[in-house]
A and B are shown apart, each in its own frame.
Chain A
Amino acid sequence: MPDLQTVQNQMRDTIVSGDASAATLAAYIDDNGIDAERRLQVYRNNFRESLTEALRGIFPGAIAFIGDEFFTGIVAEFVKTSPPDRPQLSGYGGDFADFFRTFEHAKRVAYVADLMELEWAIHESQNAPNADRYSPEEALNALDTGTLSVHPSLRLVEAPTPIVSFWMVTKGQLKPELIRVDSGGEQAAVVRVDGAVQLQPLDKDDFLLLTKLAKAPVSSELGNDISRDQIAALAARGLFASA
């Protein structure tokens, strides 16, 4: 009689791999009119379909570009190599863009991985801690006291492709024929303002400053080298909050 750990390890292996040859495990399963493989297939399907549904909710824009059938096929491969490691599915899918980028059959549309990174940033921002954003005056005071921090929901995204334009296409705000994949990179801030996630295009200077501030509050000495007008303008966009 197999012990519980053995049964669980073998079920995990056959569910994650999708492998129908679970002969050892099948020997412990009561077929009762339906063979063990078909019974196990119910659980394999639940695993793949429930995770596909979770990722579908995070990457709707990518699906708009590549189609649901292609997306579903890639997820079926992704869940085999990167199954969740915890029951918090809100944290599942952060490495999906990297997987997509290296996926052999996706090379012609590898740029969609950049859009996936943007969508993951939106997802993270949605669930990030709450904080009251600083007004421009509050942000400047924090700059003076060396306590200026970015809003905890701020995510910064930079890509070699026009990701903001991609996003606008998925929202019907830009016609696809008006963008070129090779037209150059874009940077964006993703931040939750008044409960709603916003996507804000950034110029290179703002992106670099926010990247620096996102790593650590800027000391009051270093703060002297930062443009106060630039800080006030970024604060007005809801990008700063108390640490």
Chain B
Amino acid sequence: MDTAYSAHMASSPDRAGISLKAQHYTDVLESRPSVGFFEVHAENYMVDGGPHHHFLSEIRQHYPLSVHGVGMSLGSAEGLDMDHVHRFRTIVETYDPFVVSDHLAWSRTGDTYLNDLLPVPLTHEALAVVVDNIKTLQDALSRQILVENPSSYLGFTHSEMGEADFLAEMAERADCGLLLDANNVFVSARNFGFDATRYIDTLPLNRVGEIHLAGHLTRDIDGVELRIDDHGHPVPDDVWALYADIVGKAGFRPTLVEWDTNIPPLDDLVAEAHKADAVMSREREALNA
């Protein structure tokens, strides 16, 4: 890890955080909930002015912040959209987050943006593309980023390696960190039939700079189960168990409870964050016993 990454992570919060949603802005400022940090999607703040910047500036005065990108398209074969990189850098420079992240995914080709985190074929060619794109972004930001493991609904027959192997090699070659989304691991493991524990054991856990937790939904398609990562439900027990396993192996990491659809009252998100705090405390006590 280089010094920039270490410097930012040294100031990382020791309690779980939650997604900052616009409908909670006023409630957050009035109630000052007991959470470790807030995370925002960078693209929601790529506007010139108005209430989003107003409230985020206020909230940033009281809480650490994580900036999470959902549109960088690190897997785009044609490289990054440098206009978007510059907009992203402006957000990072303005709000000075303790961590910056995006996804192992693509969302743009040509002049079309697909507003989704689309799966990358796990090939050597794609690995080289993703590594180049991460390096470009890190150079533009002058700091390391975390790259999040995806949740996927399809795989490619021409993939040449497993996803965890791809992420490990990517992180090493790009010298980036990882954002380990426990829900995504669980969803993809169920959708593709791989072992979630083995997946986690394959990752270089020393590079994990943040953990995500979220809920998902289950669909039945012609008698076959498909898990959909909708960020619209409480974290299920299976994902809590996987989280405990990760914390037991990786130690404490800043942890975020994500909630992007069917958004509940602020108190419900805070309660989920406190459950994550409790898991971390239990794992700490077990380690110290």
Contacts and interface: CB of A to CB of B under 8 A. Distances in A.
Question: Is this pair of chains taken from one and the same complex?
Answer: yes
Contacts of A29: 154-157
Contacts of A34: 221-222, 224, 226
B230 to A, nearest CB: 9
A182 interface: no
A40 B154 contact: yes
A103 interface: no
Interface stretch (B32-40, B115-123, B162-170): B115-123
A28 interface: yes
A85 interface: yes
A232 B220 CA distance: 65
Interface in B101-121: 106-116, 118, 120-121
Contacts, number: 143
B152 to A, nearest CB: 9
Interface in A91-112: none
A8 interface: yes
- Give the interface centre of B49, B84, B108, B192 by most chain A CB atoms within 10 Å: B49
A129 B49 CA distance: 4
A7 B155 CA distance: 12
Interface in A120-166: 126-130, 152-153
A128 B48 contact: yes
A34 B52 CA distance: 41
Contact of B47 (A2, A43, A90, A192): A90
A4 B121 CA distance: 7
A19 to B, nearest CB: 14
Interface string A12-52: 10011000000000011110111010111011001100110
A4 to B, nearest CB: 4
A127 B158 CA distance: 44
Given A34-B222, A87-B71, A88-B87, A9 B110 contact: yes
B205 interface: no
- Give the interface centre of B83, B120, B154, B192 by most chain A CB atoms within 10 Å: B154
Contacts of A76: none
Residues of B in contact with A, size category: 35 or more
A32 B222 CA distance: 13
A83 B116 contact: no
Interface stretch (B2-10, B74-82, B240-248, B276-284): B74-82
A47 to B, nearest CB: 6
A165 to B, nearest CB: 27
Contacts of B126: 4
- Give the interface centre of A5, A7, A29, A46 by most chain B CB atoms within 10 Å: A7
A83 B114 contact: yes
Contacts of B153: 39, 42-43
A39 B112 contact: no
Interface of A: 1-5, 7-9, 11-12, 15-16, 27-30, 32-34, 36, 38-40, 42-43, 46-47, 50-51, 54, 83-90, 126-130, 152-153, 192, 195
Interface of B: 43-44, 46-54, 70-73, 75-78, 81, 83-84, 87, 106-116, 118, 120-121, 123, 125-126, 129, 153-159, 192-193, 221-222, 224, 226, 228
12 contacts: A8-B77, A12-B110, A28-B158, A32-B193, A83-B114, A85-B111, A85-B113, A87-B84, A126-B50, A127-B47, A130-B49, A130-B50
Given A86-B83, A86-B108, A88-B46, 11 more contacts: A9-B109, A9-B110, A11-B109, A29-B154, A34-B226, A83-B113, A86-B84, A87-B43, A87-B73, A87-B84, A127-B49
